[in-house]
Chains A and B, each alone.
Chain A
Amino acid sequence: MSEGEKVVKLLGAWPSPFVMRPRIALNIKSASYEFLEETLGSKSQLLLQSNPVHKKIPVLIHGDKPVCESLIIVEYVDQVFSSGPSILPSDPYDRSVARFWAAYLDDKWFPAMKAIAGAKGDEEGKALIQQLGEGLALMESAYHNISKGKPFFGGDRVGYLDIAFGCFLGWLRVTESHIGLKLLDQTKTPGLAQWAETFCADDAVKPVMPETDKLSEFAKLLMAKTASN
């Protein structure tokens, strides 16, 4: 059976930015897949079997083989569905730049954003907001250097770094309304403001980008649940 014929399943949940990543990748490749939604608070047998080490979503199951970790899945999809448009840049240096920033976002930037909700007191909250703002300034500069006048980090089309960063836009909007401060906007990050609009309107992204108010409601639910645990 050819790669393109094997059944693709994706274990995930609609609010998760990490789950968005492989969904965008699969959309770029026009690959059909079955989306298996995990319920908050419980993990399916299939998830526990497919990702026994971390028990986390997303997990892509291709045929009978599970692939874990969002960016690893994106690279896998890019390699396997080779007939669709490329997601990773072809030039090794451009590829390394994309990977560098994706690692920065996952290791430093997003953890700071997550921590804001649970920040104990003003001092900690302020420091985290500053870190977030500084990170966005770095990304604004990176965007200018990498896109070279084109709409996306990936050039004319949505690419690896667009996916890696763009998946956080929904939660960034939720965070901004929570703290009452815009961090990504026309004045502070004009390049990114335009990019965000173009990204969210893209055909591969629109169907899987959750609406900010739905995410806000979900965030409230999550906070209530965490508080009661």
Chain B
Amino acid sequence: MDEVKLLGFWASPFVHRVIWALKLKGVKYEYSEEDLTNKSELLLKSNPVHEKVPVLIHGDKAISESSVILEYIEQVWPQNPLFPKDAYERALSRFWINFASDVGMIFRSFYLSKEENREKSRREVIQVLQIVEEQALKDKNFFGGDNIGMLDIIYGSIPHWFEALEESVGVKVIDPNALPRLYAWAQRFKQIPVINHDLPPYQDLLLHMKRVRQRLISQPPNSSA
């Protein structure tokens, strides 16, 4: 049995996607924390193109990009499937996985928004999440139906991370009035033992997000952060 190693960063929601998938499938792995200000040889060698976490190392093979890693995990460890079997349903899941990137960009705009743009940005967040709520989550308990699936993992950065993001900006966006179903889902999602046991401590995350925000908004525009 080839060893599984995960290169990660404690505050990264993308790394947590991989952790959750591995845990849900009962896959044993070794976690290695990266200092992103001083990246390890192994990280630079395993992901030379992007030099980012997460990276999954399975035996001598390195896989980068969280969505690519998740597809790999699903194929190699098919127990407790996270994707639906039906080809069409699977295509729909992939569509919403891609959409999460669009959501992420809007989150980032909000995170870095200046006071004069904040309200507009806040409304954009609500709009995009309304699409997710109405078309992907709908009236289900989880995106995956009665149990969590790939989309719950993908959107799993909303419950904990986006809360910290809101607090670091100082504006609440996701509440039971604007996004009732998504809000309820977020509370439900955080209660799941596999998820719950692996969340970064909230106060640490908040501090981290405030620090990063300060750094990014004081940088000149168009810098790749």
Contacts and interface: CB of A to CB of B under 8 A. Distances in A.
Interface in B134-189: 135
B98 A138 contact: no
A77 to B, nearest CB: 9
B114 interface: no
Given A76-B88, A138-B49, 17 more contacts: A53-B131, A65-B88, A67-B88, A67-B91, A68-B95, A69-B95, A69-B98, A72-B98, A75-B90, A76-B90, A76-B91, A79-B90, A93-B61, A99-B67, A100-B68, A103-B67, A103-B68
A52 to B, nearest CB: 8
A32 interface: no
Q: Residue among B68, B87, B131 with the most chain A CB within 10 A? A: B87
Interface of A: 53, 62, 65, 67-69, 72-73, 75-76, 79-80, 92-93, 95-96, 99-100, 103-104, 138
A75 B68 contact: no
Contact of A99 (B68, B91, B95, B98): B68
Of the listed residues A53, A68, A79, A80, the one surrounded by the most CB atoms of chain B closer than 10 A to its CB is A53
B88 A100 contact: no
Nearest to B50: A104
A100 B90 contact: no
B88 A96 contact: no
A138 B98 CA distance: 24
A69 B90 contact: no
A159 B217 CA distance: 43
User: By DSSP majority rule, is chain A's interface helix, strand, loop, or mixed?
Assistant: helix
B87 A80 contact: yes
Interface string B56-74: 0010010111011101100
Contacts of A72: 91, 94-95, 98
B202 interface: no
A92 B49 CA distance: 20
